[in-house]
Amino acid sequence: MSTDPDVLVSVEGVYKHFPIKQGIVFKKEIARVHAVDGVDLQVRRGETLGIVGESGCGKSTLARCITGLHPVTRGRITYEGRDITKFSARDLKAFRRDVQMIFQDPYGSLNPRRRVGSIIGDPFAVHGIADGADRKKRVQELMELVGLNPEHYNRFPAEFSGGQRQRIGVARALALKPKVIVCDEPVSALDVSIQAQVINLLEDLQDELGLTYVFIAHDLSVVRHVSDRIAVMYLGRTAELAEAETLYGAPRHPYTAALLSAESIPDPDEAERAERIVLIGDVPSPIDPPSGCRFHPRCPKAKEQCVEEEPELIAREGDPADHLTACHFPVEPGESLAREQASIEQVSTEPVLPEVST
Ligand SMILES: Nc1ncnc2c1ncn2[C@@H]1O[C@H](COP(=O)(O)OP(=O)(O)OP(=O)(O)O)[C@@H](O)[C@H]1O
Ligand code: SF4
Ligand SMILES: [Mg+2]
């Protein structure tokens, strides 16, 4: 348990499994999706923690656990040192004000039949905070804060562009003056030119309002400039966690190295010199993750030990205490994996079925 006052949110051994059931009357659990499968991480006050990983690795599920939208299967999440599952109704209400979420899809997350003024004003209505002319004034202030024209209060979401709709989502998230915002791929559905505008807005708001962000993205290039620290997720687990600069400069997990080598490099000469690590095969199914290190079927450095033994997420030899890597054979300085190929076939785990709390 974290008692460090700098730590705002602490995720401790968190699992979120979704049961797959079969049968019409007596539904029997036949398998589980291991969406989040043992994640430990901490979010420090005022920082931006980036979370990166391929589609389906559990980023959104983890985001929903952190914001209390999903109960966890196992493990615990603390907010300001207190377990969120043990919150009273009153604590929970305060927690829901403090911790907000911005969703991946600016189109699907806004009700098309409601006017933006009432969408942004929803949190006030739910918490019974302001009404009438006072609510309108507060909503218009929020619209101004995120760069929307307050006179567009009565318009419908369809009358706004993608970038503006994401601003509506940001305004709604800010309504209750939160401390933490979990941004779940807030720009991935937007054009590249608009992405920078929304990211700049989020950064300005962070400086102005002292916000803490968890910023989720598919690839490292999006989180590169916004994150203080970055967690790389693979198939429900944290593969590597480090200060952003360290992670980019000296990645230790072969998966991080592969993600970095796949980043597009703007300079064509540099791009030609850069050596890509090509990962073989698709991400394995989260219903039946590989044994030991779950990256072993795709890892160019895999050895027998990787099939049998799950690597711990710890500081490896020579690394600072806050650079954690879940790998038995981390990438060494100057080592290139570009010509290496994965050679070990997938060995699956026996399905582990811990008690589901919901
Ligand atoms: N409610 C649910 N019921 C069953 N399975 C689910 C549920 N929500 C997510 N999953 C599964 O859990 C796994 C992780 O999904 P999640 O949405 O968290 O991934 P993600 O990393 O956010 O992916 P993306 O980058 O595509 O948004 C996937 O295999 C997904 O199909
Ligand atoms: S533990 Fe083994 S398989 Fe896993 S990333 Fe490290 S070298 Fe690769
Ligand atoms: Mg997602």
- Look at residue 29 in the predicted model and tell me its pLDDT: 86
Ligand 2 geometric centre to CA of 301 (Å): 6
Question: 3-state SS of the chain: helix, strand, coil percent to 5?
Answer: 35, 20, 45
Q: How many domains are there within the chain?
A: 1
Closest to 122 (Cα-Cα) out of 99, 139, 100? 139
- What does the alpha-carbon distance between residue 355 and residue 2 come to, in Å, rounded to a whole number? 25
Q: Distance, CA 293 to ligand 3 centroid (Å)?
A: 23
What distance in Å separates the CA atoms of residue 238 and residue 38, rounded to the nearest whole number? Answer: 8
How many Cα neighbours within 13 Å face the side chain of 332? 3
pLDDT the model gives residue 52: 95
Distance 96 CA to ligand 2 centre (A): 38
Asked if residue 240 is part of any domain, the answer here is no
SS3 172: helix
Residues with CB under 6 A from ligand 2: 253-254, 293, 295-296, 299, 301-302, 306, 311, 327-329
Residue 305 lies in a domain: yes
Strands, E, within 45-89: which ranges?
Answer: 48-52, 74-79, 82-83
By most ligand atoms within 8 Å of CB, the mutation choice from 235, 255, 295, 344 for ligand 2 is 295
Residues 6+ apart with CB under 8 A from 214: 9, 43, 48, 49, 51, 63, 66, 180, 181, 182, 183
CA of 61 to the centre of ligand 1 (A): 6
Does residue 291 lie within any of the structural domains?
yes
Q: Is the CB of 18 under 6 A from ligand 1?
A: yes
Q: How far is the CA of 236 from the centre of ligand 3 (A)?
A: 12
Spatial CA neighbour of 56 closest among 258, 294, 240, 261: 294
Q: Which of 12, 19, 3, 6 shows the shortest CA–CA distance to 287?
A: 19
**Residue 153 DSSP one-character state:** G
Rounded to the nearest whole angstrom, what is the distance from the C-alpha of residue 276 to the centroid of ligand 2? 18
Closest ligand to residue 21's CA: 1
Ligand 1 contacts CB of residue 188 (under 6 A): no
Give the ligand whose atoms come closest to the C-alpha of residue 52: 1
List the pLDDT tens digit at each of the 358 positions of the chain: 556 779 999 999 999 999 998 888 888 888 999 999 999 999 999 999 999 999 999 999 999 999 999 999 999 999 999 999 899 989 999 999 999 999 887 778 889 999 999 999 999 998 888 888 999 999 999 999 999 999 999 999 999 998 899 999 999 999 999 999 999 998 888 888 888 888 999 999 999 999 999 999 987 888 888 999 999 999 999 999 999 999 999 999 999 999 988 776 566 665 555 567 777 777 889 999 999 999 999 999 999 999 999 999 999 999 999 999 999 999 998 888 776 666 656 655 554 444 544 4
Protein residue closest via CA to atom 4 of ligand 2: 293
Cα separation of 141 and 129, whole Å? 15
Q: Is residue 358 lining ligand 1, measured as CB closer than 6 Å?
A: no
Q: Cα separation of 237 and 51, whole Å?
A: 11
Distance 19 CA to ligand 2 centre (A): 28
Closest approach atom of ligand 2 to CA 303: 2
Q: Which two tokens stand for residue 13?
A: 């051994």
Is 273 contained in some domain? yes
65 lines ligand 1 (CB under 6 A): no
pLDDT value of residue 358: 44
The reply to whether 266 falls in a domain is yes
Which one of the ligands is nearest to 305 CA? 2
> Which ligand does the CA of 233 lie closest to?
1
Nearest Cα residue to atom 29 of ligand 1: 56
Can you tell me which atom of ligand 2 is nearest the CA of 301?
7
Give residue 264's domain range.
251-358
pLDDT, position 357: 46
Question: Tokens 């009404």 appear where?
Answer: 131
Helix axes 132-145, 116-127, angle to 10 degrees: 120
Rounded to an integer, what distance in angstroms lies between the CA atom of residue 11 and that of residue 226? 21
Work out which ligand 1 atom sits closest to the CA atom of 233: 21
Residue 88 Cα to ligand 1 middle (Å)? 29
Q: Of all protein residues, whose CA lies closest to atom 12 belonging to ligand 1?
A: 35
Global pTM reads 0.90
Distance 355 CA to ligand 2 centre (A): 29
